């Protein structure tokens, strides 16, 4: 990756997952911002135009991941999106309509998921 660390916005209502995933991403040289729901994430997105990637849970209180991505696309920000979810019942067709780079199903290996994100940036550079 470039010498400039990419900034990732990580959104999930599970604080434990946020901390562990954040550490995994930081170990791979990412700057990581965290939010506990879509409303917090929206505020961060509005204040920070230099976010390079969004990793968001789908099911969250206040504003879910799909609503967050819909907002993001409405702002015409072309930020790569990775969905994470613990629910297998989401239709792939519906999820794919948001054009995510990947859908990561919980439970998942933090190191593997972090490498998936890193590999996206390596391919994009």
Domains in the chain (CATH in brackets) are 7-124 (3.40.50.2300)
Distance CA 60, CA 120 (A): 25
Judge whether 53 and 79 are in contact, CB under 8 Å.
yes
E strand intervals along 1-125: 7-11, 31-35, 53-57, 81-85, 102-105
- The tokens describing 16, both together, are 């434990």
DSSP label of 5: P
Q: Which residues pair with 53 in a beta bridge?
A: 8
**pLDDT tens track, the chain, 125 positions:** 446 899 999 999 999 999 999 999 999 999 999 999 999 999 999 999 999 999 999 999 999 999 999 999 999 888 999 999 887 666 666 677 888 999 898 888 999 999 999 999 888 87
Distance CA 17, CA 89 (A): 21
Distance CA 107, CA 14 (A): 12
Distance CA 84, CA 3 (A): 27
| Other Cβ atoms closer than 10 A to 95 | 18
The number of angstroms, rounded, from the C-alpha of 125 to the middle of its chain's C-alpha atoms is 19
């Amino acid at each position: 990756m470039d010498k400039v660390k990419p900034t990732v916005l990580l959104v999930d209502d599970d604080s434990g997952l946020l901390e562990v995933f954040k550490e995994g991403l930081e170990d791979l040289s990412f700057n990581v911002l965290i939010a506990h729901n879509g409303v917090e994430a929206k505020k961060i997105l509005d204040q920070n135009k230099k976010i390079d990637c969004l990793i968001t849970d789908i099911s969250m209180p206040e504003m879910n991941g799909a609503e967050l991505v819909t907002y993001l696309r409405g702002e015409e920000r072309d930020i790569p999106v990775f969905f994470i979810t613990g629910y297998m019942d989401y239709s792939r067709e519906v999820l794919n309509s948001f054009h995510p780079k990947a859908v990561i199903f919980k439970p998942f290996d933090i190191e593997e998921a972090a490498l998936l994100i890193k590999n996206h940036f390596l391919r994009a550079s």
